[in-house]
Amino acid sequence: MRIVLFGAPGSGKGTQAGILEKEFGAVHISTGDTLREAVVKGSAVGMQAKSYMDRGELVPDEVVIAIAKEKLASLGSNGFVLDGFPRTVAQAEALDAVLAELQKPLEAVINLSVDEEELVRRLSGRRVCPKCGEPYHVDSKPPTVADKCDLCGASLVQREDDKPDAIRNRLRVYQEQTAPVLEYYRRKGLLRDVEAKGGIDEITQRIKSLIGVR
């Protein structure tokens, strides 16, 4: 499996990528998760990225392209599910070049399509595990024990960029800088649109049938 999960903030990329990783062993590569880990560690990349992330702006292309290249180069024979990368046409072009070098061409770009009202509902109700990254939602995916991660027991937190001003900014940035990438992949014949409103399992089934796996 060599796919990109594409979509606006809150469309379910991380949730679906985690499921596909567990079921098919394809490595889930999330530039957002890697950047958040760098922020927690206080590395040079993390310090550079933090202010962009908190405001809901994109981190500069050269920073995220370097992260994606390193992750992809270390895959060995494994497949991958990219989540949150590429997000600009420059990133998409860089991805093409890396995958050509690795001889691992993309099979599909799955565009998770969700209306804005639902995106805001998902993002404002999201809670995440700061330790293992598992995402939850106060209504649609609550943890078994209130505010505790089902997988590792850590106390759940709300992401800084899931506060109202940052959500509004992220949705604007998506429309202006990321949505044009859709046309890039449509022209290459790789784009597959998925209606991504509905139950989490239902959407996994739609993705699986589009890429021909069970």
The DSSP bridge pattern shows strands 126-128 and 191-195 to be unpaired
Interface with ligand AP5 includes 52 (CB under 6 A)? yes
Q: Toward ligand AP5, which CB reaches closer, 8 or 108?
A: 8
Task: Say which residue the tokens 């991660």 belong to.
Answer: 149
Query: Given the complex with ligand AP5, which of 91 and 111 has the nearer CB atom?
Result: 91
107-127 as b/e, with b when 16 or more CB fall inside 10 Å?
ebbbbbebeeeebbbbbebbb
Cis peptide before 86 (omega within 30 of 0): yes
- DSSP secondary structure letter of residue 8: S
Active site residue 126: yes
Exactly one of 2, 3, 12, 133 binds ligand AP5 (CB under 6 A); that residue is 12
Task: Give the CB-nearest residue to ligand AP5.
Answer: 32
**Residue 134 near residue 149 (C-beta atoms within 8 A):** yes
3-class SS of residue 64? helix
Instruction: Determine which residue in the list 140, 175, 205, 209 makes contact with ligand AP5, applying CB under 6 A.
Output: 140
26, 38, 53, 149: which one binds ligand AP5 (CB under 6 A): 53
Is residue 64 a contact partner of residue 54, using CB atoms and an 8 Å limit? no
Binding mask of the shown chain, residues 185 to 204, with x at each position contacting ligand AP5 by CB under 6 A: -------------x-x--x-
Rank residues 92 and 108 by Cβ distance to ligand AP5 and give the closer one. Answer: 92
Task: Let me know if 197 is a catalytic residue.
Answer: no
Q: Is 192 a catalytic residue?
A: no
Q: Annotated catalytic, 87?
A: yes
Mapping DSSP to helix (H, G, I), strand (E, B) and coil, where does residue 212 land?
A: coil
The span of 20-28, 84-92, 98-106, 149-157 binding ligand AP5 (CB under 6 A) equals 84-92
Task: State in angstroms the smallest separation of the CB of 54 from ligand AP5.
Answer: 8
- Quick one: tokens of 101? 């070098």
User: Are 94 and 86 within 8 A, CB to CB?
Assistant: yes
Determine the number of helices (DSSP H) and then strands (DSSP E) in the chain. 9, 7
Whether 159 is catalytic is yes
Mind telling me the catalytic residues? 13, 87, 126, 159, 170
Give the binding site for ligand AP5 (CB under 6 A).
7, 9-15, 31-32, 35, 52-53, 56-59, 64, 84-85, 87, 91, 122-123, 126, 135-137, 140-141, 161, 170, 198, 200, 203
